[in-house]
Amino acid sequence: MTTLAALGGPAVGAFNPPPWPQASQATLDALRDVVRSGRWSLSGAWQDGPSAEARFAAAFARFTGVPHCVPTTNGTSALVIALEALDVGPGDEVIIPGLTWVANATTVRAVAATPVMADIDPATLCLSPAAVEAAITPRTRAIVAVHLYSSVADLDAILAIGARHNVPVIEDCAQAHGAAWRGRRVGSWGAAGTFSMQQTKLLTAGEGGAVVCSDDLLHDRLYQLRSDGRRSKACPARGEMELVMDSSITGTNYCLSELGAAVLGEQLTLLAEQNHHRARTADSVDKLLFSAEGVEPIQTPLQVTGRTYYYYTLRIHPDAFGGAHAATVCRALAAETGIPFQPTYPPLYRHPLYQPSTKRRYAMPEAVSDGPPGGLPEVERAYREVITFHHSVLLAEGDALSHLPKAIDKVQCAPAELRQLEAEGIDFTNPL
């Protein structure tokens, strides 16, 4: 075998990921229409008809299969208003997975509650129902089930635990637009479903977010919480403000701009076909890797009737790679293939971006990490073993990835070179 490409040897193959996001003429036209309309924000005056924001909200609610959607500035503000609308506050505990983006912990802190990090199910990388059950206390006020990398958390079991303890479940669908569990889209199962439409996501306007729900009263609260407490006036006249004062609730301005809403409205029309394409390519990668030694794709449970892919995820067997960390294997595979492999998130309780004691308003002693003293075993194992690549790779045709098995073989045959790479340090850079 030749030298690893990461150490200057020849690469097994090359790959150019298709661009992401993908602009369309309709997206450009919709943006131009908003710019010309004079209404750039929900808080601008009513023009000739419903705002782009209201039109996107209706379309996304329909897409998810729920009556209501409240668009927001991003997925972080969507989580904050979902927690606020469910009345989570000081003294409360919120169960979150220990493997996820940092926003799941910071948003709980933002409403002055305490995040309780629970272990994951190694089969799905999402919250383990048994770990949720064990983490419930009389102070538990919500469970946030994150559908990580579009893998769907065990909704049947987690909703049953929530119902038994009278604790609402928020589905964080930031990474799972369009995924379905037993025939219904994610976001429609919990008390509320939150989404991010940030640049890397399956549906994006660069930034953006949304909360979906079925309950009318919860929807009214969410609406006001993200528009400084204002509510929408029925049938405003041209030139009149649609958002009107209301003193029933204190909110924050988390409104999605009309420009973002127009982009999302058009991008949504592309999502089903893009999800289909990604699933087709992922199937061919599954087949390519079926007989590969030392790696296993993360499996899809039978209840997942609509599989989407925010990232394609694989577990490596470290012994097959000379004990190397997933981050080192990613570096070696990326150099061999041109596919931008990335390791999964560091455990949330030692994520470099989660430093709650640095905010005075949390009033915390230093070195609080919210994790259990010994760490969470499956979260720790995932960090050592899970490797991923972004969904834009799956927008290529399946045969563009046919060099992957050969690259995996080559990297496994070079344990000494992997050790040399590892000695250069592990790159903690993570996607959202």
Ligand X SMILES: Cc1ncc(COP(=O)(O)O)c(C=O)c1O
Which chain residues interact with ligand X by CB under 6 A? 74-76, 100-101, 103-104, 146, 172, 174-175, 196, 198, 209, 432
Structure tokens at 414: 């070079």
Nearer to ligand X, 288 or 394 (CB): 394
Number of CB atoms found within 10 A of residue 352's CB: 10
Alpha carbons within 13 angstroms on the beta-carbon side of residue 432 total 16
Q: What is the smallest separation between the CB atom of 393 and ligand X, expressed in angstroms? A: 18
The number of angstroms, rounded, from the C-alpha of 213 to the middle of its chain's C-alpha atoms is 18
Pairing of strands 192-196, 169-172: parallel
Pairing of strands 311-316, 295-297: antiparallel
Structure tokens at 364: 């915390």
Q: What is the smallest separation between the CB atom of 207 and ligand X, expressed in angstroms? A: 6
Nearer to ligand X, 76 or 388 (CB): 76
Nearer to ligand X, 107 or 369 (CB): 107
Q: What is the smallest separation between the CB atom of 355 and ligand X, expressed in angstroms? A: 17
Nearer to ligand X, 39 or 390 (CB): 390
Q: Which helix (H) or strand (E) holds 418?
A: helix 415-423
Longest dimension (CA), the chain: 74
Nearer to ligand X, 93 or 207 (CB): 207
Alpha carbons 407 and 387: distance in angstroms, whole number: 14
Nearer to ligand X, 199 or 250 (CB): 199
Q: How many residues does the chain have?
A: 432
Q: What is the smallest separation between the CB atom of 75 and ligand X, expressed in angstroms? A: 3
Q: What is the smallest separation between the CB atom of 350 and ligand X, expressed in angstroms? A: 18
Q: What is the smallest separation between the CB atom of 200 and ligand X, expressed in angstroms? A: 7
181 Cβ contact partners less than 8 Å away, ≥ 6 residues apart:
152, 155, 189, 303, 304, 305
